[in-house]
Amino acid sequence: MGLKIYIDGRFYEKDEAKISVFDHGLLYGDGVFEGIRSYNRLVFKLKEHIDRLFESAHTIMLKVPLSRQGMIKAVIDTLKVNKLKDAYIRVVVTRGEGDLGLDPRKCKGRARVIIITDKVLLYPEKLYKKGLEIITVPTPRNLPEALNPQIKSLNYLNNILAKIEAGNSGYEEAIMLDSMGYVAECTGDNIFIVKGGQLYTPPQCMGTLRGITRDAILGIAAKKKIARHEHVLTRHEVFNSEEVFLTGTAAEIIPVVKVDGRLIGNGQPGRTTLMLMKEFHKLTKTEGIKY
Ligand code: PXG
């Protein structure tokens, strides 16, 4: 049996799951999305993801045709139909069908809701043990005053350009700076450093997405009585930190051992990173909405 895709309350086989070429999600990237995970039939931080989806939609004045509770139910229903225990869940809301102009008021149909569930795509296991090597790329993160990175919109070209630049240089992931040259985040992950045993991550006002994994890590660190700072970071501070790691729904927590050719600490995943990875895995086993 193939994957079943949810579109507007109905399930379609993967090959039959189609939307209009006039959908403004396709024509203009006009829409919002979330990437969510489930672990052993527990959807991690589902409410937080749906809240963030609704916030993104509110800012772009996109009316989601379901209530928050209705959206949670639709995600759970899709997981049940697909009988997936551990899944990556992509929720997409597009502006819907319009004409060829960009005016969303011309989209007479209602917004479309698409839910795709699939197996999880992770970095290769050995990178979690050895750590990632990353670089800084030239493309700066979108200016928050222009297109705020808090809006998880279908227009991800800013991050895709950075991903292309990382790939051109032979790297999997890249640091993106904000327009002032401070460290913002990576193409699909937030960044943390450890210095003097304390945790630092850029504040969300500096053009970073307020990652749900990021917040979970800050929560774990608080319980472990580790001092936490949401503070602007320069590359110099990243190069001279004891540990660096990235957080995101897909990657979870992954250690970074080299940045722009500079070894981080002793070039091995650090103690605090390893502890946080262990605690994060514990959290995903106990927290979430059951299905
Ligand atoms: N920053 C950006 C720019 C992101 O897109 C994160 C941080 C981490 O946020 P969460 O809430 O996931 O801890 C993201 C994550 C994917 C994928 O499939 C993930 C994201 C976007 C596109 C693809 O890996 N968002």
- Residue 170, amino acid: G
**Same-domain check for residues 67 and 200:** no
pLDDT tens digits, one per residue of 174-191? 999 999 999 999 999 999
Instruction: State mean pLDDT over 214-227.
Output: 98
Token pair 């970071």 in the structure block, residue = 233
Q: Is 214 inside any structural domain?
A: yes
Do 129 and 230 lie in one domain? The reply is: yes
Cβ 214 under 6 angstroms from ligand 1: yes
Catalytic-labelled residue, pool 152, 258, 282, 285: 152
How many whole angstroms separate alpha carbon 73 and alpha carbon 141? 34
Give the span between the Cα atoms of 279 and 263, in whole angstroms. 26
Residues 14 and 147 in one domain: no
What is the share, in percent, of the chain residues with pLDDT greater than 90?
Answer: 95
Domain membership of residue 290 (yes or no) is no
pLDDT band at 121 (very low <50, low <70, confident <90, very high): confident
- pLDDT of 202 higher than 80: yes
Give mean pLDDT, residues 211-218: 98
CATH code of residue 73 = 3.30.470.10
Task: Look over the chain and give the mean of its residue pLDDT values, rounded to a whole number.
Answer: 96
Cβ of 188 below 6 Å from ligand 1: yes
User: Which residue has its alpha carbon closest to ligand 1 atom 6?
Assistant: 189
- Tell me the best of 189, 204, 208 to mutate to test the pocket of ligand 1, counting ligand atoms within 8 Å of each CB and taking the most: 189
| Ligand 1 atom nearest residue 249's Cα | 12
C-alpha dihedral sign at 273, 274, 277, 278:
negative
| Residues sharing a CB contact under 8 Å with residue 103, sequence separation 6 or more, in sequence order | none
Burial 58-94 (b: 16+ CB within 10 A, else e): eebebebebeeeebbebbbbbbebbebeebbbebbbb
CA of 245 relative to ligand 1 center, distance in Å: 14
Would you say residue 113 lies in a domain?
Answer: yes
Stated as kind and residue range, the H or E segment containing 214 is helix 212-223
Co-location of 257 and 220 in the same domain: yes
Burial state string for 192-215 with b = 16 or more CB within 10 A and e = fewer than 16:
bbbbeeebbbbebebbbbbbbbbe
In a domain, 155, yes or no: yes
Mean pLDDT, residues 269-287: 97
> How far apart, in Å, are the Cα atoms of 181 and each of 28, 137, 140, 210, 288?
29, 11, 8, 19, 37
Residues 114-138: what's their mean pLDDT?
Answer: 94
27 Cβ neighbours under 8 A, 6+ residues apart: 21, 98, 100, 102
Q: Sort strands 112-118 and 289-290 into parallel, antiparallel or unpaired.
A: unpaired
pLDDT score at 206:
76
Is 109's pLDDT higher than 90?
Answer: no
Ligand 1 atom index nearest CA of 212 = 11
Res 1 pLDDT > 80: no
Does 291 reside within a domain? no
> What tokens does 171 get?
């790297």
- The answer on 110 and 64 residing in a single domain is yes
Of 11, 277, 32, the closest CA to residue 147 belongs to 32
Using pLDDT thresholds of 50, 70 and 90, give the confidence band for residue 89: very high
Q: How many domains does the chain have?
A: 2
- What is the arithmetic mean of pLDDT over 257-264? 98
* pLDDT tens digits, one per residue of 28-74: 999 999 999 999 999 999 999 999 999 999 999 999 999 999 999 99
User: Ligand 1 center to residue 106 CA distance, Å?
Assistant: 30
E strand intervals along 28-119 = 31-39, 42-43, 87-94, 112-118
245 lies in the same domain as 103: no
Q: Which of 151, 209, 217 most suits a substitution to test ligand 1, by most atoms within 8 Å of the C-beta?
A: 209
Are both 79 and 13 inside the same structural domain? yes
27 and 143: one domain?
no
In short, whether 185's Cβ falls inside 6 Å of ligand 1 is: yes
**Same domain, yes or no: 56 and 109:** yes
Active site residue 152: yes
Q: What is the pLDDT of residue 143?
A: 95
CATH label of the domain that carries residue 180: 3.20.10.10
Inside any domain, residue 182:
yes
CA distances from 202 to 193, 228, 260 (A): 10, 11, 19
pLDDT band at 169 (very low <50, low <70, confident <90, very high): very high
Q: What is the pLDDT of residue 50?
A: 98
Residues 114 and 133 in one domain: no
Tokens of 268: 């091995």
Q: How far is the CA of 125 from the centre of ligand 1 (A)?
A: 19
Give the residue-averaged pLDDT of 118-131. Answer: 91
Say whether both 18 and 142 belong to one domain.
no
Ligand 1 atom having least distance to the Cα of 185: 1
Which of 118, 147, 170 terminates a domain? The answer is 118
What are the tokens at 237?
């501070």
Last residue of a domain, one of 118, 133, 162: 118
Q: What is the pLDDT of residue 122?
A: 82
Same domain, 144 and 95: no
In a domain, 247, yes or no: yes
Domain boundary among 49, 83, 118: 118
Q: Would 91 be classed as within a structural domain?
A: yes
Range of the domain at 60: 4-118
